[in-house]
């Protein structure tokens, strides 16, 4: 066993190191607080590994540049925040429709608009789901610790490659800038997934083939497959089509390819939920306050538990419903005005009432505030 050393590491650095461990060898981005450390670290580390870093002229350039790189076969990453993520939305839709694997780290800051560059928030939950126009699938992972910033970025890269889709890693400013003592797994201990590449001759290659897997193989540019990529509605060959039945079949495949694999995509954690009468649903840095609240309230004999969705999108609704047997009330603390609450309510409203605990003023939600809310609904 290789001897490892525990280190004090920042969340943003953990994301960058996770990406490198997962095989990311191309980064394009634009400086923005509070995500910039990721770009800085990638600019330093990628050349050492023969990878490429480029600081683009704007956020849109950062997003579109990684898509070009991904088409040559590279695993790619960009990182941004608030205004930058808004600017990237058109290209994220392109990645979804053209099915180009890529990972976007969003270190959430207070919004809307310029908002609070160094202030924490969780206001981009619905943007991650619906930020670009049109129906499309998305995967969004939400770490709660520095360690998870590393492991979930590895997972995000794997998911992007496996499902040919854009994947978000949604940090909030607290998680991005927090430092914790960690000991990351060695690369040899990680499962690393590469995209499926075609094994057929170029003449038979269908880059958007509809088969049982729903995930077509993807050829690297420059390997003789000579395929066409477009953001227009396209058929199995990748060329534009206006035929309603083909558009329908391709878009259904696109939506279903994530749904079909939900059992292997969905991640969550639950604490003290077996007998819980009050269930807190929290994610990101807010979940850390919720954990402390649960621990404190349990010492008083209050039957409270925590359900922490790690994949925010798709939302682990079956898992959440399975924890509701004794639950009389659900509390959703968020640093927004009730974004994931809507989803929790959709999933749980026939079982228990859902109360939000919302705070959007640049400050984190404290354990005391969560505890007070629990006492309020007791």
Partner 1 sequence: MRPDLQHLFRMEKLPHIWCPGCGHGIITRAIAEAINESGIDLDKTVIVSGIGCSSRAPGYMNFDTLHTLHGRALAFATGVKLANPELNVFVITGDGDATAIGGNHFIHAARRNIDLTVILFNNNIYGMTGGQYSPLTPTGKMAATSPYGNPENNFDVAALAIAAGASFVARGTAFHDKLLVNSIKEGIKNKGFSLIEALSMCPTSYGRRNKMGSAADMIKHLKDNAVNVVTAQKLPPEKLEGKFLIGTLHYKPYREFTEEYDKLIARVQKEGK
**Interface residues with partner 1 (CB under 8 A)?**
26, 28, 47-48, 50, 52, 54, 56-58, 60-61, 64-74, 76, 90-91, 94, 221-232, 239-240
Nearer to partner 1, 223 or 256 (CB): 223
What's the chain's length in residues? 378
CA distance 358 to 335: 6
Give me the least distance between CB of 96 and partner 1, in Å please. Answer: 13
Place of tokens 């290659």: 205
Given a contact cutoff of 8 angstroms between Cβ atoms, the answer to whether 326 and 278 are in contact is no
Give me the least distance between CB of 27 and partner 1, in Å please. Answer: 11
Nearer to partner 1, 49 or 372 (CB): 49
- Which has the closest alpha carbon to 110: 85, 81, 132? 81
Report residue 133 as tokens: 């126009």
Residues with Cβ within 8 Å of residue 259, at least 6 apart in sequence: 137, 314
CA distance 258 to 252: 11
Nearer to partner 1, 71 or 331 (CB): 71
Residues with Cβ within 8 Å of residue 229, at least 6 apart in sequence: 71, 98, 100, 207, 238
**E strand intervals along 4-68:** 7-10, 24-29, 52-55
Backbone angles phi, psi at 10, to 5 degrees: -85, 150
Nearer to partner 1, 68 or 117 (CB): 68
Nearer to partner 1, 72 or 322 (CB): 72
Give me the least distance between CB of 220 and partner 1, in Å please. Answer: 8
Q: Are strands 116-120 and 102-110 parallel, antiparallel or unpaired?
A: antiparallel
18, exposed or middle or buried, with CB in 10 Å at 0-12, 13-18, 19+?
buried
Nearer to partner 1, 112 or 222 (CB): 222
Nearer to partner 1, 24 or 332 (CB): 24
Give me the least distance between CB of 24 and partner 1, in Å please. Answer: 12
Give me the least distance between CB of 26 and partner 1, in Å please. Answer: 5
Give me the least distance between CB of 272 and partner 1, in Å please. Answer: 47
Nearer to partner 1, 47 or 353 (CB): 47
Give me the least distance between CB of 85 and partner 1, in Å please. Answer: 16
Give me the least distance between CB of 63 and partner 1, in Å please. Answer: 8
In this structure, the number of other CB atoms found within 10 A of the CB of residue 44 comes to 11
DSSP state of 351: T
């Amino acid at each position: 066993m290789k001897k490892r050393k525990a280190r004090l590491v920042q969340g943003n650095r953990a994301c960058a190191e996770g990406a490198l461990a997962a095989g990311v060898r191309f980064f394009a981005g634009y400086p923005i607080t509070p995500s910039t450390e990721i770009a800085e670290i990638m600019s330093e580390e990628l050349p050492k590994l023969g990878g490429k870093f480029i600081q683009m002229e704007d956020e849109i350039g950062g997003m579109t540049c990684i898509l070009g790189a991904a088409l040559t076969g590279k695993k790619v990453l960009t990182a941004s925040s608030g205004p930058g993520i808004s600017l990237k939305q058109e290209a994220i839709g392109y990645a979804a429709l053209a099915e180009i694997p890529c990972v976007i780290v969003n270190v959430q800051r207070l919004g809307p608009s310029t908002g609070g560059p160094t202030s924490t928030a969780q206001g981009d939950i619905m943007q991650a789901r619906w930020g670009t126009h049109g129906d499309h699938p998305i995967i969004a992972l939400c770490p709660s610790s520095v360690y998870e910033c590393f492991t979930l970025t590895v997972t995000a890269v794997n998911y992007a490659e496996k499902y040919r889709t854009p994947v978000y890693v949604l940090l909030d400013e607290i998680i991005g800038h927090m430092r914790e003592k960690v000991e990351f797994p060695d690369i040899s201990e990680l499962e690393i997934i590469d995209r499926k590449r075609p094994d057929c001759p170029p003449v038979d290659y269908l880059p958007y083939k509809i088969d049982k897997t729903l995930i077509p193989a993807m050829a690297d540019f420059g390997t003789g497959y000579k395929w066409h990529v477009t953001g227009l509605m396209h058929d199995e060959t990748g060329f534009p089509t206006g035929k309603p039945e083909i558009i329908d079949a391709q878009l259904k495949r696109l939506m279903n390819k994530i749904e079909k694999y939900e059992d292997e995509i969905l991640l969550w954690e639950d604490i003290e939920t077996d007998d819980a009468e009050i269930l807190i649903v929290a994610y990101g840095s807010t979940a850390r306050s919720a954990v402390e609240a649960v621990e404190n309230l349990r010492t008083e004999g209050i039957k409270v538990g925590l359900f922490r969705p790690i994949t925010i999108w798709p939302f682990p609704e079956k898992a959440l419903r399975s924890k509701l047997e004794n639950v009389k009330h659900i509390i959703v603390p968020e640093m927004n005005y009730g974004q994931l609450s809507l989803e929790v309510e959709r999933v749980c409203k026939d079982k228990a009432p859902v109360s939000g605990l919302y705070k959007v003023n640049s400050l984190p939600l404290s354990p005391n505030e969560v505890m007070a809310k629990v006492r309020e609904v007791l």
